[in-house]
Amino acid sequence: MAGGNTIVVTDANFEQQISTGLSLVDFWAAWCAPCKAIAPKLEEIASELGDKIKILKMDVDNNGQAPAKYSIRAIPTLILFKDGKVVDQVMGNVPKEQLLSMISRHM
């Protein structure tokens, strides 16, 4: 379900993908309506911010380790990582402006 600017991650490559720089991880599932609703906003953010941040998508139905490690209880949950460490988190289909504000605080 990832588009042109978002990157699909799995348990196998998750740690490597979040290890450097700023990464926003969208924990989602195909059956989740709010997950589908937030996806276009994430695509726009990925396009607008370019190489300043990686927008990563992890399907919680196909990956168990990372969602368990970060205690994902509801989706969509978006976790912002900086150099591999959690710096912020939000749950639900939040407005794009809220996501941009969260990201800009950590740039």
35 is catalytic: yes
CB 63 within 8 A of CB 11: yes
32 is catalytic: yes
Q: In what order do the strands lie in the sheet with 54-59?
A: 7-8, 54-59, 22-28, 77-82, 85-91
Query: 18, 32, 53, 103: which is the annotated catalytic residue?
Result: 32
Query: 9, 25, 35, 58: which is the annotated catalytic residue?
Result: 35
Active site residues: 32, 35
